[in-house]
Structure 1
């Protein structure tokens, strides 16, 4: 292995640890804000909204500034260091803020709505700065490495997306099953902070003295072809892809909670399974992305496949109750039984989520790779990431506040699947793909439309959903059953 390749692998390892610590923060903040807000669900919603919103701001700022900076990797290290300092001081700040709020601020507020408003505002400000910084890490390091290691930009992009997501999936589980039980919340957030500081120091020594100006915007026929087809719509496509993916995440977590139970471990198992699927998608496409003759066609096909797989999780979900019921009959009420239950829960989560999330894990690298060939230079990375994150926030709001209350849980998945299929058709149209010359694509489009049109006739089995299979081992209940 030559020195250049070894250095690239070192940076890839750094970004894996960055993803690992990033999801520790998201998980830890939920626990802390649960104590502050007094409600676990409120804490999870607030953390998700602020975490994603801050990341959108951070990636947008990185996109705006990246063309002016010549050592993006060093700036990435600086950001990691500041995140680490926040991590090292977070517990002390939280204790001081909580004490001031409950002893001095809230007692002087007469209206209940004002207390809740101020409480949510304080909770938001405790995690917003770190979230903004976390959002800047992916665009800064990715653009910096593409400048430092030119050639095969698609592989570099997809590899970093894969390794960061994989680190995040491991971080969620490590935090839930290792850090919190052994060192508690203060120790877990301190561990993440120390890791970020270590990464910052390592990156400083690896990148000091580097000078790599912004890559020149693409020119020629390739760039022109992109701008004439779908280039100007790529940001909107990235936003809608994020919207659909997070509608899936919200829908699947709500659905699987009735199979796996509503414990903290169950939530983090499901979150890890979702992120692992994204990682596998990035891993799968990393060696293929630079070789695609028509990446737009690939992106359109993947959108169709993703929507189709997502829609099929509705009937598949009904079968998971029988699967969990079989395992519950065989498991013993012991520590070893709980370990097996946890592994089985992770497997069921992967069964539901993996096919569609693997597809989702390829879309952001593909869209970014296509846009890199346009006129934005490497600032395209931050732009795509920001729009995708904004779409994710809209997907969460749409799922929780609109679709679920008005149309029911099934349609959270159904509308997300419809969005993906429509995106796929739109991309194929804008890419000027003539389906009459692509028979496999015709078959895929036809199958996707048939499955989407079948969603109104697919249902969730309410008797199974009310069974409490994770507690009683019954896959379904009937009228008169005593549980």
Structure 2
């Protein structure tokens, strides 16, 4: 039975990852949509647990019912690619024309999310009460809860780790779904064939049917209250811990799998620990578990600064250029910080569940639903209110205070005059001392260094953080500043990773930031509507605006980043936010393109790193097909790509994926960074009129200081071309290239590995691209008429 529920937990976590990634493409990846989906998922589990309570009491064959539920889950999930596609079509029919950041869309997201998620999640919620009831004749209530809880969460932890690191990269999203469904079908068959159900509710001895765990003498109502609060604390701690760990260890898709694994493993180990036989009463065990929870949460507040010292130490040593070894190094602080509080929560769950169920195997359904309702409250409270208002550290500290309060209440309720005062109140006294001693603020300067990316010090490590904001969408957005020779230099960062700066010097990042806004002028015919995805410091968007667009929409997932950039980098983005015709939307770019019916003359995508979790979806086939449909007849797409820490194979994958939707693709290099220009219009080829328009920018007063940074002034832009369409076509024809799409997520899972590359492995990437520049420029409009040879 342990193995069956382990496998069930494994499959359930894989399903959850699949649901989350796919629904992010349906509803958008902004936090409002993400947390709405998660709340619906948990609501389904709560409903299922409540229904399971009644089913467990009435059925004579709980294991058979469990097997039927698992089989139904597997069959439904096999159909989810079609169900989600249908839901996406319905959502687009309803939502097209709405602002993508409109609160009205949440209503539709809730309704459609419920439509596709409630059926499988209700069935998932059913399984726990049924299996606990099935072993009523052989285990105490607490032992049963602990046994199945730890089995399921061990399976979930394994699913998080293996799905994130091995299964999805190897099999893709649909392959992972099929594997999970196959596991669930196997679980159902084993439950049908191998589990004996000779003892049923009808033929159990009378004394077993009425048996109540002798230890479960605590308060039923207080047990329910603890379950509700601990359910909320669980998600609040998960949200706040993962939020801060993204700053400490990075925010690639692998990092999030690692964080989730650590948290789930802690829950599983805690549940296993709670299941050990104890002669103590449940009240005493409850007090011990609450004391452990309070201490682990408060002790974790000491560890954030130590984690920064850990990475500083690694930066001063020579870390091997191995992706797997570096992931192991990232795992160490994740385990130390995330696992202990999760262990305490896992240890508390079976105890409080036993009290709330009155020690009866068929009484856990309603308490389980109450716990899940607490989960829903916790994720919504932390994601929408606490993170933006007080930040991740104070959210964790608040959790510690709440746990401490629960400990005081539990200690008071269980007081006994016959027991020495020190023995009764010693835990509360110790927790009080720890609460007083723990740090009350976090030095964000210390943790937002960006060292975790390359295990090397960033140039702004040690600078002063002069402004910051925290949110679920933006992570930790910060401005690092340093005054040198009377001038204040500023750098904008997200979770410690570079976004842009205000350095106006030759050879600085400003060449790329301004240049990527000017390159499209060599290909544009019309300057009516522009869409800029990704704001950064706003310099690229400013350059695009100065090129002459009447209307420009800027889309960024993080409102924090836009606000901070406009406060601190207005000198380099020329107060773009105040310019006529400029508007801002706060969502992900792909969601905006799905919902808008507008046609654009230019779509410019300017991200900071392709390896950020979710960012690579803007380099997939499906995104390019969507962008193509939103371009005007002579429209042009411009997209940044990194050349550093990027394998040559991934360069080919990006260019090939783009070329599948666009006939004409150009490659440029400005400031040691890359840009792809794409169009399906022959009129997008550079010509004398476009060159003249670009050269006229030399007289633009706003742009003069930027153009002075280039060796040859504005002429440097037209000379930045690396490959023209025919040369791109020939490069891709040399070998078959697998495309990146929403199923294989090739770039999302391969680009983070580039952060462990040696410099010599990527420093010649531009020369590699230039090596294909052999074809003459003549007759390219006729020559480059078909997509390059690629493989799906």
Q: Which TM-score band applies after superposition, normalised by the shorter structure?
A: 0.7 to 0.9
More strand by share: 2
Note the 1:334-345 alignment, pairs <5 A.
334=321, 337-345=322-330
In the alignment, structure 1 residue 391 sits paired with structure 2 residue 374: yes
What is the aligned partner in structure 2 of residue 46 from structure 1? Answer: 36
Tell me, yes or no, if the aligned pair for 1:73 and 1:141 is still in contact at 8 Å: yes
**Counterpart pick for 2:353 among 368, 380, 384:** 368
Structure-1 separation of matches of 2:270 and 2:90: 46
In the alignment, structure 1 residue 276 sits paired with structure 2 residue 265: yes
CA pair 438-70 structure 1, distance change in 2 beyond 3 A: farther
What is the aligned partner in structure 2 of residue 6 from structure 1? Answer: none
What is the aligned partner in structure 2 of residue 326 from structure 1? Answer: 313
What is the aligned partner in structure 2 of residue 293 from structure 1? Answer: 280
In the alignment, structure 1 residue 459 sits paired with structure 2 residue 441: yes
What is the aligned partner in structure 1 of residue 175 from structure 2? Answer: 187
CA pair 328-25 structure 1, distance change in 2 beyond 3 A: farther
CA pair 322-219 structure 1, distance change in 2 beyond 3 A: closer
* Range with bigger deviation, 93-102 or 22-31: 93-102
Task: Quote how far apart the aligned CAs of 1:113 are.
Answer: 5.1
**1:224-281 residue CA offsets vs partner (Å, 9 max, x unmatched):** x92xx52232111111111122211111111111011111111121111001001111
* Range with bigger deviation, 76-85 or 443-452: 443-452
**Counterpart pick for 1:24 among 7, 14, 25:** 14
CA pair 40-408 structure 1, distance change in 2 beyond 3 A: closer
* Range with bigger deviation, 427-436 or 75-84: 427-436
What is the aligned partner in structure 2 of residue 8 from structure 1? Answer: none
Tell me, yes or no, if the aligned pair for 2:31 and 2:383 is still in contact at 8 Å: no
What is the aligned partner in structure 2 of residue 313 from structure 1? Answer: 300
Structure-1 separation of matches of 2:180 and 2:352: 31
Structure-1 separation of matches of 2:91 and 2:388: 33
CA pair 187-368 structure 1, distance change in 2 beyond 3 A: same
> Secondary structure of the equivalent of 1:47?
helix
In the alignment, structure 1 residue 150 sits paired with structure 2 residue 138: yes
What is the aligned partner in structure 2 of residue 259 from structure 1? Answer: 248
In the alignment, structure 1 residue 236 sits paired with structure 2 residue 225: yes
Task: Quote how far apart the aligned CAs of 1:454 are.
Answer: 4.3
Return the index of the structure with the highest Cα Rg. Answer: 2
Tell me, yes or no, if the aligned pair for 1:143 and 1:379 is still in contact at 8 Å: yes
**Counterpart pick for 2:157 among 169, 175, 182:** 169
What is the aligned partner in structure 1 of residue 333 from structure 2? Answer: 348
Structure-2 separation of matches of 1:331 and 1:128: 50
Task: Quote how far apart the aligned CAs of 1:320 are.
Answer: 0.5
> Secondary structure of the equivalent of 1:46?
helix
Task: Quote how far apart the aligned CAs of 1:119 are.
Answer: 4.1
What is the aligned partner in structure 1 of residue 769 from structure 2? Answer: none
Tell me, yes or no, if the aligned pair for 2:411 and 2:428 is still in contact at 8 Å: no
Structure-2 separation of matches of 1:216 and 1:69: 13
In the alignment, structure 1 residue 447 sits paired with structure 2 residue 430: yes
> Secondary structure of the equivalent of 2:168?
helix
In the alignment, structure 1 residue 203 sits paired with structure 2 residue 176: no
Tell me, yes or no, if the aligned pair for 1:230 and 1:427 is still in contact at 8 Å: no
**1:59-101 residue CA offsets vs partner (Å, 9 max, x unmatched):** 1111133211111111111110111011211112222332454
Structure-1 separation of matches of 2:26 and 2:429: 51
Using structure 1 for the length normalisation, give the TM-score: 0.87
Note the 1:73-92 alignment, pairs <5 A.
73-92=63-82
Tell me, yes or no, if the aligned pair for 1:238 and 1:367 is still in contact at 8 Å: yes
Higher relative contact order (CA 8 A, sep 6+): 1
What is the aligned partner in structure 2 of residue 7 from structure 1? Answer: none
More helix by share: 1
**1:306-333 residue CA offsets vs partner (Å, 9 max, x unmatched):** 1122012112111101212333554658
Using structure 2 for the length normalisation, give the TM-score: 0.54
Task: Quote how far apart the aligned CAs of 1:211 are.
Answer: 5.0
> Secondary structure of the equivalent of 1:458?
coil
Note the 1:111-126 alignment, pairs <5 A.
114-115=104-105, 117-126=107-116
Structure-2 separation of matches of 1:339 and 1:427: 45
Task: Quote how far apart the aligned CAs of 1:169 are.
Answer: 0.2
Task: Quote how far apart the aligned CAs of 1:142 are.
Answer: 1.4
Tell me, yes or no, if the aligned pair for 1:310 and 1:413 is still in contact at 8 Å: yes
CA pair 95-403 structure 1, distance change in 2 beyond 3 A: closer
Structure-1 separation of matches of 2:97 and 2:379: 34
Task: Quote how far apart the aligned CAs of 1:194 are.
Answer: 1.4
* Range with bigger deviation, 338-347 or 83-92: 338-347
Task: Quote how far apart the aligned CAs of 1:210 are.
Answer: 4.2
Task: Quote how far apart the aligned CAs of 1:384 are.
Answer: 2.1
Tell me, yes or no, if the aligned pair for 1:435 and 1:441 is still in contact at 8 Å: no
RMSD, aligned α-carbons:
2.7
Structure-2 separation of matches of 1:349 and 1:232: 35
Unaligned runs of 5+ in 1: 1-10
Unaligned runs of 5+ in 2: 203-207, 465-481, 483-488, 492-497, 499-792
